[in-house]
Amino acid sequence: MKLKRHTAVLALAAASVLMLSACGSDVNTTTPGAPSGGAAAVSCGGKKSLTAEGSTAQQNAMDAFIAAYQQACPGYNLAYNGTGSGAGVKQFTAGLVDIGGTDSPLDPSKGETTAAANRCKNNPAWDLPMVFGPITVAFNLKGVNDLTLNPETIAKIFSGQIKTWNDPAIAALNSGVTLPATPIAVQYRSDQSGTTDNFQTYLKDASKGVWTKGTGKTFNGGVGEGKQGNPGVGQGVSATNGAIGYVEWSFSQQNKLTIAKIDSGSGPVALTNESVGKAIDGATIKGEGNDLVLDLNSIYSSSASGAYPLVLATYELACSKGYDPDTATAVKAFLTAAATTGQNQLSSIGYIPLPQAFQNKILTAIKAIS
């Protein structure tokens, strides 16, 4: 099933990308979909086969990016291994892959920034937010297809304070909905996960002190059943009546999961491209220069009307300098294709395409890689 899913994504992406002329080691190909200020050129060449590893949240987006890269540069490829953000950071900083994928930027307090700089031959690594994806609070409850939760109830569910679906706190948010006494079966990420990090940070920022379990890539709630990756959580929720889990949007779509609305204080908000886009508009960059680390805390704690607040940004980790010339050329080509034509299919597979301002900043950073 997984192979078929990724094959379908590749076919979808490939069908939409204009056929481009073959790229040699010194051939530039103009890429459609570039920012309005001017076309971005994919300079194909260098290393024929790149490697990348990390976030499962961006797995399907990476399939689309790879298809765009192969269309722009026939004969070139990137192999992506979706093993989780923690593994992506470790593999990148160890120099075992060319690009790392993570839902959380490099953490200086954990030595990740220093380790990445060492890998990049004493040059900084850059966090490049290439994929925006909502995190869903997905549930499977027989007879219930419309559910609203607020940050406080979500925090109580995932910390084990709310144990059944007919708890008064849930009922108060869902007038007119018949809620059964079914036990709540929490599904969480068992691996080191940037999705977990973002989810727990959201709970800390938005739940008005209810979430006291901490943050980080390890789930700290202490209740439920651990599953490997977004695919594992999605499948766990799908297979279990009474289940609830946090899972990246595209995997909720693939498993046909029902998604809870979130009420941040201004009424229930369903997850849509528009409601997520409204939240992303409030994001600011706190990184310096071409290290494009986002500050999502203001989004998580916001009660803006019509904004779906539970959003993550998936980063590609790349050396600013320190690659050998062949690798640098290929990395820049792949990232350029990903930031332009690779964005075209994201909305159809559960992601939000790069806002124009972020796309411009990312292309500037990619161009500066040497």
Can you give 270-290 as a three-state secondary structure string?
Answer: CCCHHHHHHHHCCCEECCCCC
Position 17 scores a pLDDT of 38
Q: CA-to-CA distance for 215 and 220, rounded, in angstroms?
A: 7
What is the mean pLDDT of the segment spanning 266-295? 89
Q: Are residues 139 and 110 in the same domain?
A: no
Residues 6+ apart with CB under 8 A from 97: 51, 52, 53, 81, 88, 91
Residue at 67 is within a domain:
yes
Q: Are residues 125 and 170 in the same domain?
A: no
SS3 261: strand
Residue at 201 is within a domain:
yes
Residue at 255 is within a domain:
yes
DSSP state of 184: P
Q: Are residues 77 and 186 in the same domain?
A: no
**Residue 130: band (very low, low, confident or very high) from pLDDT cuts 50, 70, 90:** very high
Position 308 scores a pLDDT of 94
Bridge partner list, 51:
79
Beta-strand relationship, 258-259 and 125-140:
antiparallel
**Residue 284: band (very low, low, confident or very high) from pLDDT cuts 50, 70, 90:** confident
Residue at 333 is within a domain:
yes
In this structure, is the dihedral angle defined by the CA atoms of residues 336, 337, 340 and 345, taken in order, positive or negative? Answer: negative
Residue at 326 is within a domain:
yes
Rg (CA), the chain: 20
Asked if 182 contacts 165 with a C-beta cutoff of 8 angstroms, the reply is yes
The answer on pLDDT for 273 being more than 50 is: yes
Position 358 scores a pLDDT of 81
Position 194 scores a pLDDT of 87
Residue at 198 is within a domain:
yes
DSSP state of 183: B
Residue where a domain stops, chosen among 260, 278, 296? 278
Q: Are residues 146 and 238 in the same domain?
A: yes
Residue at 323 is within a domain:
yes
Q: Exposure pattern of 197-227 as b/e (b: 16+ CB <10 Å)?
A: bbbbbbbbbbbeebbebebbbbbbbebbeeb
Domain range enclosing 203 = 134-278
SS3 313: strand
- CATH number for the domain spanning 139: value is 3.40.190.10
Tell me the percentage of the chain whose pLDDT exceeds 70: 89
Q: Are residues 14 and 145 in the same domain?
A: no
30 phi/psi in degrees, rounded to 5: -75, 130
Closest C-alpha among 141, 223, 159, 155 to residue 187 = 223
Selected residue with higher pLDDT from 335 and 12: 335
Position 274 scores a pLDDT of 87
Position 12 scores a pLDDT of 42
Position 6 scores a pLDDT of 43
The answer on pLDDT for 28 being more than 80 is: no
Side chain identity at residue 221, one-letter code: G
Q: Are residues 108 and 153 in the same domain?
A: no
Place of tokens 């704690």: 301
Helical (H) or strand (E) element with 3: helix 2-16
Give the helix, strand, coil percentages of the chain, each rounded to 5. 40, 20, 40
Q: Are residues 141 and 269 in the same domain?
A: yes
Domain total of the chain: 2
**What distances in angstroms separate CA 98 from CA 24, 92, 196, 336, one per listed residue?**
21, 7, 24, 15
The end-to-end CA distance of the chain, in Å, is 39
Q: Are residues 235 and 360 in the same domain?
A: no
Q: Are residues 221 and 231 in the same domain?
A: yes
Q: Are residues 101 and 160 in the same domain?
A: no
Q: Are residues 104 and 167 in the same domain?
A: no
The answer on pLDDT for 197 being more than 80 is: yes
Residue length, the chain?
A: 370
312 phi/psi in degrees, rounded to 5: -120, 155
Selected residue with higher pLDDT from 40 and 89: 89
Mean pLDDT (the chain) is: 88
Q: Which of the residue ranges 27-41, 240-254, 295-309 would you say has the lowest mean pLDDT? A: 27-41
Q: Are residues 68 and 185 in the same domain?
A: no
Tell me the whole-structure pTM to 2 decimals: 0.73
**Residue 5: band (very low, low, confident or very high) from pLDDT cuts 50, 70, 90:** very low
Residue at 291 is within a domain:
no
Q: What token pair was written down for 208?
A: 């008005």
